[in-house]
Amino acid sequence: MRAKYFFGFIISFIVGVALESILNFGYSFAILCALLSLFVLLTPRVRSQTKSVLFVSLILLGGALGVFRVDVSLANTSAHALNSIVGEVAKVDGVIVAEPDVREEYTNVVLGSEGVHKEKTRILVRVQAFPALKYGDIVSVVGKVTIPKNFPTEDNMRAFDYRSYLAKDGIFYQMYFPEVTIISHGNGNVIREKLFTFKSWLIKNISQRIPEPEASLASGITLGAKQSLGEDLIQKFRETGVAHIVVLSGYNIAVVAGIISRLIMFMPFSIRLVMSALGITLFAVMVGGGATVVRATAMALVVILARVFGREGDALRVLVLVGGLMVFVNPMILLHDVSFQLSFSATLAIVVFVPVIEKYFSFISSRIFREIVVTTFATQIFVLPLILYHMGSVSLIGFISNIFILPVVPVAMMLVALVAIFSWMPFVGSLLAFLAYILLAYTVTLVEFFARVPFASLHGIPFSFFVLVLAYGILVLVCKKYFLQTSTVDKYSKSHLSN
């Protein structure tokens, strides 16, 4: 399939999903687009322009599929399963279907239950930190059922659509601090239960060897544990532009994967391929394989395979295909899942923007440091419009702080992983914990130092959807011009050298 047909169809599908999510055209519009697609393809008068006809037909068909997919998704939800008891105190039985999100003062659990008419639905339940609940527990909760509310606007900024954010995961109701009775344990997927148990064991080992707040940071960057660092320190991570390393985010995975893929270029081809793919996959399994991690890992594998094969141009096709498939599986992530947007943007930057700008950093003699600088700069540029749109804030020293902090993240992750596994060995565990603590303390110290810099970040920046589209439109045009030139030169050079 020619590139323009492929990209045209996938992009029109994504545009169809976006338009239907915003404007809600309905099934009739999808049918109309599909009929127009067929009409254009079969009309004798225009069939002489075969290539143009096929392209226009695919555009219309992709848009129709996007609209239709959103409508099917909305029709199959259980958004009204508990509406009859909203605002009332009710007893609800269900199973905990995801790993509990443990915070300092409370725990959030997702309860899978049945509605009044036996429809399956999910409830986000906030409970006391103790007694500890686990994935797979069947519990009975008694409390007031509420519908999630969107966060109010602050400083004239865009309101956060919290209701849609939860709805993308099938969560349509909430309960706050109900009475909880544990009925039984071990009712979830056996593999996931074992993984979460192993993860808890690793976190316990880390906390025994490394003091706070470095222990929470260690669990966050290595295992994606959502333990709290304290609101004050978390805010400093945000202000210095390195909040993505506190927990395992798609942005963090994309950056680290891009660096790793370059660092192992010296290895034989087969070993590079196996080690890269196996390493990032095992990492995803180790941290529990949540939806965010799976999406970020899939995109990270695109970068790794592109670097191994030296086919950045093909990587763009694979990345767009992966993104399109993810949106097809769950259309709501396109507009309401910030982690998906950041993961895709960061990975896109590594695939198409790094090759464009890396020649401008040739003055950096160290290859490893050059890769870190280029990757950091590219991803920072690509995720900045999204951060401004969603958060309304920007770190003025984020690029500098990332340059100083990101290089130690992979090493720190490796040391923390070794601590978690070998903490039972007296001397080895203590030595590894000491080395890991040095890097973690270095990170925390730098964050606190950069946070004290005057005007380290700006807040309350208005950034409309129109400006967001304009910003990415400019980035697309720049990459389309220079990335294609770079790819053409690379192909010519490889062909010339082979001859």
- The answer as to whether 198 is a domain residue is no
Residue 199 lies in a domain: no
**Do residues 139 and 242 both lie within one domain?**
no
Does some domain include residue 348? yes
- Pair of tokens at residue 471: 């910003």
For residues 453 and 395, is the Cβ–Cβ distance under 8 A? Answer: no
Same domain, 240 and 124: no
Q: Are 136 and 193 in contact (CB under 8 A)?
A: yes
Q: Is residue 399 a part of any domain in this protein?
A: yes
Token pair recorded at residue 65? 């599929």
Distance CA 95, CA 322 (A): 31
State whether 380 and 442 are in the same domain. Answer: yes
Instruction: State the Cα–Cα distance between residues 68 and 26, nearest whole angstrom.
Output: 8
- Report yes or no on 499 lying in a domain: no
Residue 195 included in any domain? no
Identify whether residues 250 and 384 lie together within a single domain: yes
485 and 469 both lie in a single domain:
yes
| Same domain for 222 and 175 | no
Cα separation, 226 vs 206, whole angstroms? 14
**Predicted local confidence at residue 162, as pLDDT:** 85
Identify whether residues 308 and 330 lie together within a single domain.
yes
Indicate whether 71 and 95 sit together in one domain: no
Q: With residue 309 as reference, give the H or E element that holds it.
A: helix 291-309
Q: For residue 302, what are the domain limits? A: 206-494
CATH number at 141 reads 2.40.50.140
Domain termination site, one of 25, 56, 75:
75
Q: Are residues 169 and 236 in the same domain?
A: no
**Where do runs of H (alpha helix) occur along 149-248?**
162-167, 190-209, 214-223, 231-239
Contact between residue 447 and residue 237 where contact means Cβ atoms under 8 Å apart: yes
Q: How many whole angstroms separate alpha carbon 213 and alpha carbon 227?
A: 10
Divide the 499 residues of the chain into consecutive groups of 10 and give the mean pLDDT of each group: 82 93 89 89 64 84 93 82 86 88 84 76 89 88 90 63 86 91 86 80 89 87 70 82 71 55 65 68 62 67 62 72 88 87 83 83 79 83 88 81 82 84 87 93 92 80 86 86 58 35
Domain shared by 172 and 233, yes or no: no
Query: How many domains are there within the chain?
Result: 3
| Structural domain contains residue 153 | yes
Q: How far apart are CA 176 and CA 192, in angstroms?
A: 26
What own/partner pairs with CB < 8 Å and gap ≥ 24 does 105-111 have?
Answer: 105/129, 106/177, 107/132, 107/133, 109/133, 110/169, 110/171, 111/139, 111/141, 111/175
Choose one of 75, 108, 138: the last residue of a domain. Answer: 75
Same domain, 49 and 160: no
- For 99, list phi and psi in degrees, rounded to 5: -65, 130
Token representation of residue 144: 């007031």
Question: CB neighbours (10 Å) of residue 308?
Answer: 21
| 196 exposure class (CB count in 10 Å sphere: 0-12, 13-18, 19+) | buried
- Cis amide linkage into residue 385, ω under 30° from 0: no
> How many whole angstroms separate alpha carbon 53 and alpha carbon 44?
11
Q: What is the pLDDT of residue 306?
A: 61
pLDDT value of position 496? 33
Count Cβ neighbours within 10 Å for each residue of 148-166 and write b for 16 or more, e otherwise: beeeeeeeebeebeebebb
68 & 93 share domain: no
* 424 token code pair: 């039972």
Q: Is 180 helix (H, G, I), strand (E, B) or coil?
A: strand
* Residue 290: predicted pLDDT: 57
* Residues in CB range of 1: below 8 A, 6 or more apart: none
Helices 190-209 & 408-422 angle (0-180, nearest 10): 100
Q: Measured between alpha carbons, how far is 392 from 466 in angstroms, rounded to an integer?
A: 14
Look at residue 56 and tell me if it is in a domain: yes
pLDDT of 142 reads 92
Tokens at residue 246, please?
A: 């506190």
Chosen domain end from 24, 44, 75:
75
